[in-house]
Amino acid sequence: MIGRSRRDAGQAFPIYMMMVAGLLFLVFVFFAVGKAAALRNEAQGAADAAALAAAEKTREDFADPFFASLPEDLLDVFLRSHPVTGCPAADSLASANNARVVPNGCSWTHSGYRDRITVEVEGRKAVDSSVLEGSENTKAKTKATAIVEFQCDWTSVDLNDDSIRDIFFFTCDKGFLEIRPSSPPPWSQVSKILFDVHLVDN
């Protein structure tokens, strides 16, 4: 009876060891998956920050061409065809958040009075798990999109009948503005009223 129990114990030991090994493997897999999810969340935060930075820098750079378009009544032309200049700011913000913008990873499209800026980033840290093959080179990639949107209606007045617009009146979602092209206000005071910047789903 005693000898039989010892034989059973001897047979059970390898099974026990296999179960322990399997459980340890699952623990490492769950850890790797959790790390991958954390790295992706970190990369998403970097992408969001980079896209917003690109959009905000683009809005900041609108100052001179926006005011220059007013006297000649070319505001509509400017709003539909201006350049997007904020991508270098996306590089800086991505780097500050432990990521990088992938090559050609900052792009934009125009639609009416709206610019859609998409930034794709790659995290700098690899998953690097011993239980996931190839994970030593696997880094989180994700993207974010920000919008720069002109949100006003406007009218203008030519006081001297010389084809030069002297006063513009803007009715915007965030308020009302009167702008005289001959003495424009500081861009920092009006840019956030004229143009909204926000993230959208990709």
- The tens-digit pLDDT sequence of the chain (202 residues) is 444 555 555 556 566 556 655 555 555 556 556 666 777 888 899 999 999 999 999 999 999 999 999 998 999 999 999 989 999 999 999 999 889 999 999 999 999 999 999 999 998 876 555 555 555 666 788 999 999 999 999 999 999 888 899 999 999 999 999 999 999 999 999 999 999 999 999 7
- Check the CA dihedral 96-99-102-107 and report its sign: negative
**Total of domains in the chain:** 1
Distance CA 31, CA 16 (A): 23
Q: pTM, whole model, 2 decimals?
A: 0.79
> Directed axis angle between helix 187-194 and helix 2-61, to 10°?
120
Domain span at residue 192 reads 2-200
The answer to whether 94 and 49 have CB atoms below 8 angstroms apart is: yes
Quote the tokens at residue 183: 């003495």
